[in-house]
Amino acid sequence: MPDEVVLLSDINFQKVPKVDQELREFLRGKIVIANLEGYITDNPTSTDLGMPNDSVKKLRDLLNIRYVSLANNHTLDGGLDRFRKMEEVLQSEGIICFGTREKPYVIFEVSGKKIGVLAFAWRFTGAKARELNLCWISLKKIIEQVNELKLKTDYLIVYPHWGIDLEILPTPWQVKAADKIIDAGAHLIVGHHAHEIQPRNGSAFYSIGNTYLPKNAVTSYYPDSVSKGFLVSLMVKDSLVSLSTIPTIFSSSKLKISSNQEFSTPCITCSDFPQEVLKNYTSYYRRKRVKRVVPVFTGNFADYLYRIPYMIALESLATMFIGFLRRNRSKDS
């Protein structure tokens, strides 16, 4: 029976990289979980995150992935039929999917301990399909799921797709949400979607960066920093759970464990936010954030009054613009 769980971040094998032998050996024999950012199609193109059928087998064979969250903003890019096809292909390859409305969480056993993993997608990542386990601003449904799952498990992990794309800091809403989720009974939060490594606060890893994404029209604007990420490992021994992080780095053709020289970004997920920052975090976030055009979600009434309508309008404009760019690229090719 495995005694270790490893959580990866965002992954898409539209183009299958060479996976370094050291990483393959590290993941062998462990329970590996990832956020599958894309969908299955017979005709993948470089204009979206569609993956060929055999990519699922590669995820299993190269990285030993056994569970994937589908709660993100790209699993339904190909429509509902392809989403259902992906569920079928995953099942046929022995990979269990969760993070959906029908199946928000999974439970498995590690060294005699029942581990639960709950996944959800924040609506303002662009995820909006009713088939997914979604969260807006209110955490009522998520807290109910945490309360349900903690009665069935010994250790509870929440695995959210949340935050702002390419933002180096969690939003004030995320900081408050993480506190509420931990207070409700979760032991660990491992977040993704931002594609950048963000600071950690105690048991909350707001974003662990990327594991692997292809270079194409969807990711063409990403900076070099998104090629870095962390794996979060949980070792279960004698009823105790210990955490560790392993840095990874990828190029368009290779994914590997990173050396200290390659991983120039400070190991900020291994240390907490300074407490003086958290005392007035909203003010700190307004000063230090990168994405100035995005409203500052704080979890208060103002989010409902004008930030949500503004974000939905911004999302619509961005969707139209991206669609225009993709159509032009398709014509050029």
Angle between helices 172-184 and 281-288 (to 10 degrees): 140
pLDDT of residue 270: 52
Counting the structural domains of the chain, the total is 1
Question: Which residue type, as a one-letter code, is found at position 83?
Answer: F
Report the Cα 60 to chain-centroid distance in Å: 18
The range of the structural domain enclosing residue 196 comes to: 4-290
Q: 318 in a domain, yes or no?
A: no
Q: 270 in a domain, yes or no?
A: yes
Q: 322 in a domain, yes or no?
A: no
Give the pair of three-digit tokens for residue 268: 């900020």
Task: Tell me the three state secondary structure of residue 4.
Answer: strand
The whole-model pTM stands at 0.92
Neighbours of 1 (CB within 10 A): 8
Q: Distance between CA 246 and CA 232 in Å, rounded? A: 7
Cα three-residue angle 121-122-127, rounded to 5 degrees: 70
User: How do strand 228-237 and strand 240-250 relate by DSSP bridges?
Assistant: antiparallel
Q: 167 in a domain, yes or no?
A: yes
Each of the 333 residues of the chain gets a pLDDT tens digit; together they read: 788 999 999 999 999 999 999 999 999 999 999 999 999 999 999 889 999 999 999 999 999 999 999 999 999 999 999 999 999 999 999 999 999 999 999 999 999 999 999 999 999 999 999 999 999 989 999 999 999 999 999 999 999 999 999 999 999 999 999 999 999 999 999 999 999 999 899 999 999 999 999 999 889 889 998 999 999 999 998 878 999 999 999 999 999 999 765 555 544 445 678 888 888 999 999 999 999 988 898 888 777 777 888 788 877 777 776 667 666 756 655
pLDDT of residue 268: 46
User: How do strand 240-250 and strand 254-257 relate by DSSP bridges?
Assistant: antiparallel
Q: 16 in a domain, yes or no?
A: yes
List, in sequence order, every residue forming a beta bridge with 240; answer none if it has no partner.
237
Q: 327 in a domain, yes or no?
A: no
Q: For the domain that residue 223 is a member of, what is the CATH number?
A: 3.60.21.10
Q: Distance between CA 121 and CA 101 in Å, rounded? A: 11
